A and B are shown apart, each in its own frame.
Chain A
Amino acid sequence: QQQVKQSPQSLIVQKGGISIINCAYENTAFDYFPWYQQFPGKGPALLIAIRPDVSEKKEGRFTISFNKSAKQFSLHIMDSQPGDSATYFCAARYSSASKIIFGSGTRLSIRP
């Protein structure tokens, strides 16, 4: 049972462009939606997170857009840089628990 669906599986963006990754969730009890960035050989690192009572959260070049009624959320990376090349995972969890449900990941490549 895939509770968090993520797309696309892979994404190639030109330097300076906007990278967009989409996710959808099923369980309306989730109340915390983090995004993780993972470089090869490293563990996932928290990038940005949002709660469902907020429709958008921005931190630097990274923005989460959240649509509670559609049960969808997305990550936008503005002015994408080669250093952003990594695998990105959307996720969902209950804020009162540490179990994280991860999406299947998006391998992002930024072309110079």
Chain B
Amino acid sequence: ETGVTQSPTHLIKTRGQQVTLRCSSQSGHNTVSWYQQALGQGPQFIFQYYREEENGRGNFPPRFSGLQFPNYSSELNVNALELDDSALYLCASTQWAGSGNTIYFGEGSWLTVV
């Protein structure tokens, strides 16, 4: 049990649509990151939020955006969905990123774009 909860667990969207994925972290975890894991591959870092501000981003276009809220929840929004966006989206949280604190992953949201 990691204390990181994601919703929905599975969803299907049509190309061009928009999707919002949600994550609830442990109390006190003020750093949250989102990862994309395509089938058969390792997770790829999308971006990180610290105290409600984005402070790191991977190689993903601006149509991937996020929000972090004071209640330790966060969102990943993807606009203009493409077929290649089909993947498992993982939320990860930690108390703070210093000193190699353990990062806890949720079980992910499976997104299928058709």
Contact = CB atoms under 8 A, between A and B. Distances in A.
Contact of A98 (B42, B92, B108): B92
B105 A101 contact: no
A17 interface: no
B100 A103 contact: no
A45 B43 contact: no
B105 A99 contact: no
Nearest to B58: A99
Interface in A78-92: 89, 91
Given A43-B90, A99-B48, A101-B45, A32 B100 contact: yes
Nearest to B49: A98
Most buried by B among A43, A46, A93, A104: A43
A44 interface: yes
A96 B42 contact: no
Nearest to A89: B42
A49 B94 CA distance: 16
Interface in B40-94: 40-45, 48, 56, 58, 90, 92, 94
A42 interface: yes
Contacts of A97: 48, 56, 97
A43 B2 CA distance: 10
30 contacts: A31-B100, A32-B100, A36-B105, A42-B108, A43-B2, A43-B4, A43-B90, A43-B106, A44-B43, A46-B103, A46-B104, A51-B100, A89-B42, A93-B100, A96-B99, A98-B33, A98-B48, A98-B56, A98-B92, A99-B33, A99-B45, A99-B56, A99-B58, A100-B33, A100-B103, A101-B45, A102-B43, A102-B44, A103-B42, A105-B42
